[in-house]
Structure formats: structure tokens, C-alpha cells
Amino acid sequence: MTTLYLTEYGTTVRCENETIIIKKQHQAQAYRLIELNLIIILPGVQLTSVVIAELLDRGIETIFLRKDGQFRGRLQGQFHTNPTIRLAQYQVVNTVFGLAIAQKIVEGKIRNQRTLLQRRNRNAKGKIGELSEAIDLIASYLIQFKADSTFDRDFLMGLEGICARTYFQALQHWFPDTWRFAGRNRRPPLDPINALLSWGYGVLLARVFSIVVQAGLDPYLGFFHSNQPYRPNLALDLMEEFRPIIVDQAVINIIQSNLLEIDDFEASPDGIGTWLGSTAKKLFIAELEQQFIKAVNYPPQNRQLKLHQIILEQARSLGRCFVERNLNYEPFLLK
């Protein structure tokens, strides 16, 4: 199955003989509808009413992002659902059980962040003092997850925030100084690395949203993220453990490959932030997709799966936990 990214302004999409025809300037590409499972669309792309009808009728997940990569919305047609799973999900919201699930998700994210820093530390043979200190500091916070008690949401969010700040400040040691990355900033991102991170998280959210729906869950009802209206809170929860694995690793890979230059980025319309230019988007999408299709060992099944398949298995695992009221959910961890 194919994931299709439509990112170029002025692209038109029409349908003919169960095939969609994508025209960009004077070039055209064709994709059979039966081969598509997800389409991600940025502003400036025009779909005919026939295309929209086909996507709805066939249940092809179609996600719309803003120009800065943030989630905008989706087309919803036919999709598989399981009332038993959704009812079980609703019943554990705002419960001790739900907070315990949130705690496992956050612990998984923090452990994966620390592992990514450890990889850089090994490459540097432990000679970067700030990096070693950050790894040790995060380890000291992870000890708190070994206790049997369940945190309240405010404490959990505070712990996650402290570890995130420590992680992103140390992440700068993956990048050359010319990229001017000193830590996380967003809305808007103020430098190219943060622009890549923000854009990548938007794409990851779109993919996870689609997977959560496929697994029969309600993407808007979460456990770690507060249940704000119109925000896909469960999708945001599930993507946490995959942020370092997929997006952060993709950013590291593309910067280290020297494929991008500072000139591949542009100022945001307000002149304050930094956005990806067209070349940066194309190259980064390709790198992200390489991460999504990367095959690694999935311990619960002791077999090789692609990362996008592992996200689906993790969503299904969440669903089973809700229905069975057990805490057998284990985050997927980097090795």
C-alpha cells in the first residue's frame, strides 16, 4: 500500500478509470486508487469533487496539514470501527487506569530520547561533558517511574517537560554549529532544525491519526494530553514514544547526509519563524518515509516489522488493554 504526499502549490488531482491523475506544472503522475491507503495534503492542492467522492467511498484516509506541517483536518468516509473498543476507551478516561497508561507512554518517550543521546555519546566516546550530564540527569528522573505509585497528570506533565528540555538542549550535539540549534522552540520554529522537527511531528501525527482510526479507537480522547476539543489527543499520546524514533532520527539523518543547506529554508509570513522550502520538504519527506518503512524487531511478536506497522500494533495493544482492563501495554523502545 502507498502513502501519497501532495505538497506543491498548484497541484491538481483528478480521477479517471479508478486512477487518480496528479498534475504538477506540465508533469503528470498516475496512481491506482486500490493501491492507496493514506494521502497527506498541504495547502494549494486542488481536488475535484469526483476525487473527493472516491476517497470517501473507498475509505482512503486523507489528512490535511497546514503549510507549517501542523494538523488541519481529515476527510472521513467509510472506516472500520469496533464499538466494544471505543466504549472501553471512554470508560477509562479520567481514571487511575488511564493515568497509568499515560505514565507508560511518557516513560517510553523519555527512554527513547535518552537512547538517542546515548548513541551520540558513544560516537563521541563520552568526551562531551554536557551530553553525558544530560544522559545522567534524564536517568535520575526515570528512576521515579520504577515506583508502584501512579502520578497525577500535572506531575507527569512536569516530569515530561523537564526531561524534554534536557533532551533538546543536549540534542544540539548531533548537529554542526552552523545550524544554530540550541533547544526546542515552536509556534513558530525559529531555526531550520526546529522547522524540521515541527514539520516532522505534523506528518507523524497525521500517520498516527490514521492508524488510531484503523485500530478502532477514538483519536480525540486521550490520557496524557488533556482532552481539549477539536484536538486529536489520543493520536498525540500514541505518537509520543515514536517522536525520537522516527522524526528526531530522520532530522539527524538528513542533516548528517549534507543534503540540505540553510538556503533550503524560508522565513514564515510574519518574518519571525522559519519554514521548510520546497526542496527541503521533498528531501525530508523522503527521509521520513525511509524511517516509516524501516524494519526492526518487534519484541511482543519476536519478528521484523516496519515502523509504521509497529505503530499499528501498539495502537491495537492499547485497545486490548482498554477492553481487558489490564496494564500490559509496553511502549516500543529503541535498542
83-105+150-156+173-324 has CATH 1.20.58.1000 classification: no
- Give tens-digit pLDDT for 43-77: 899 999 999 999 998 888 888 988 877 888 888 77
Decide which of 251 and 63 is more confident.
251
Q: Which alpha helices (DSSP H) does 276-329 contain, by range?
A: 278-292, 307-324
Question: What pLDDT score does 1 carry?
Answer: 66
Report the CATH number of the 2-75 domain. Answer: 3.100.10.20
pTM for this prediction: 0.90
**What pLDDT shows up at residue 148?**
59
Domain boundaries, the chain: 2-75, 83-105+150-156+173-324
Q: How many CB atoms lie under 10 A from the CB of residue 277?
A: 16
Give mean pLDDT, residues 203-221: 90
Q: pLDDT of 105-152, one tens digit each?
A: 999 999 999 999 999 999 888 888 888 999 999 999 998 887 656 778
Q: How far, in Å, CA of 133 to CA of 288, rounded?
A: 30
Q: Residue 72 corresponds to which cell in the numbers above?
A: 488541519
**Per-residue pLDDT tens for 123-133?**
888 888 888 99
pLDDT of residue 267: 87
| pLDDT of 295 higher than 90 | yes
Helix axes 129-142, 96-123, angle to 10 degrees: 160
Ramachandran category for residue 302: left, alpha or beta (phi over 0 → left; psi -120 to 50 → alpha): left
The yes-or-no verdict on residue 227 having pLDDT over 80 is no
CA distances (Å), origin 27, targets 22, 24, 231, 322:
8, 5, 36, 48
